[in-house]
Amino acid sequence: SGGCPLQCRCYGSIVDCADRSLKSVPVGIPPSTERLHLQNNMITNIPEGSLSADIPAATERLYLNNNQISNVQPNGFVGLAALEFLHLENNKITDEGNPIRALPAGTFYGFSNLKDLFARRIGLTELQTNSFFGLDSLETLYLEYNELTTIPTMALQNLRNLKKLYLRDNKVTELPQKAFFGLDSLELLDLRYMLLSTIHDMAFEGVKSLMSLLLAGNERLQSLPQGGIFEDIPSLQSLTLQENPWSCEAPLCSLRRWMDTSEVRIEARDRIACYMPESLRGQTLDSLSTASLCQGLPSP
């Protein structure tokens, strides 16, 4: 069919080159392409300026998931200004066992229309200050199942329009103060199934639009700051805290008091249970009286 690369199928503005064992982007993709499927191939690297040479400027959705991309050069994606959705999930080098470790500064420069970035399972261990520079319209960022050990505060703080941030199943152990500072538009924050053991009392300072906070499944999270932390999130509507090994002792008093009076919807509330001390193991936090947990502590 005229105007469609041999390895692909073209349907109007959709070009499907998935599952073709391709090692590079095919030549001759029609200029009218808006959605380009290149997933499940064997593409290994993205040299500077290479994509804009082969991918039409009108492309709005680009699927590069399940390739073997291990090397993204700065400006690798330059010239794709119309892009709104970029799928990079499940890209890891297989032969040298050396996955993408960081996204170089300026990787996405020029992506001023990108709304959704899918970067799950790409082996990220860190992000540079300007890894996301230029993503002025980004609304949803998927970073789950990576190897991040700290919250990439500096990299994130340029994302003024970010509404949803998914970080579950990374290796983060601590939320320092102002961990999400600058994310003025953030509405949903997924911090489930990480290795969190410490949350600083000002960790959520500045997230004034946050409505949904997911903290379940952190198997080292036993306690929260004694002064309380959720009071600092004015627009909070929904919270998860289950599957954490809570130590039902004095430091949890402020959480228990807050749960008594707050109008925030606490999901799976009947599964928020004590792990320590052993005498209370398995009891729900709700089943303990506030008086017993807060014994000897001053009233609020």
Cα atoms found within 13 Å of the Cα of residue 4, Cβ hemisphere only? 15
Rounded Cα distance, 31 and 94, in Å: 33
Q: Is the CB of residue 254 less than 8 Å from the CB of residue 228?
A: yes
Q: Does domain 1-171 have CATH number 3.80.10.10?
A: yes
Q: Is the CB of residue 77 less than 8 Å from the CB of residue 46?
A: yes
Rounded Cα distance, 162 and 135, in Å: 9
Give CA separation, 136 vs 67, 131, 263, in Å.
27, 13, 34
Q: Is the CB of residue 239 less than 8 Å from the CB of residue 262?
A: no
What sign results for the dihedral spanned by CA atoms 119, 123, 129, 131?
Answer: negative
User: Read out DSSP for 198-228?
Assistant: EE-TTTTTT-TT--EEE-TT-TT-----TT-
Rounded Cα distance, 83 and 87, in Å: 11
Rounded Cα distance, 64 and 90, in Å: 9
pTM as predicted: 0.93
Query: What does the domain layout of the chain look like in residue ranges?
Result: 1-171, 176-300
Q: Is the CB of residue 151 less than 8 Å from the CB of residue 171?
A: no
pLDDT tens-place values along the chain, 300 residues long = 458 999 999 999 999 999 999 999 999 999 999 999 999 999 988 888 778 889 999 999 999 999 988 877 777 787 888 999 999 999 874 444 445 577 888 888 888 999 999 999 988 888 889 889 999 999 999 999 999 999 999 999 989 999 999 999 999 999 999 999 999 999 999 999 999 999 999 999 999 999 999 999 999 999 999 888 999 899 999 999 999 999 999 889 999 999 999 999 999 999 999 999 999 999 999 999 999 898 877 777
Q: Is the CB of residue 279 less than 8 Å from the CB of residue 288?
A: no
Instruction: Provide the 8-state DSSP code for 3.
Output: T
Rounded Cα distance, 262 and 231, in Å: 9
Count of Cβ atoms closer than 10 Å to residue 30 Cβ: 17
CATH class of the structural domain 176-300: alpha beta
Domains 1-171 and 176-300 share a fold: yes
Rounded Cα distance, 150 and 174, in Å: 7
Amino acid at 255: L
Per the listing, tokens 């017993």 go with 292
* Pairing assessment for the beta strands 9-11 and 246-247 based on DSSP bridges: unpaired
Rounded Cα distance, 12 and 191, in Å: 40
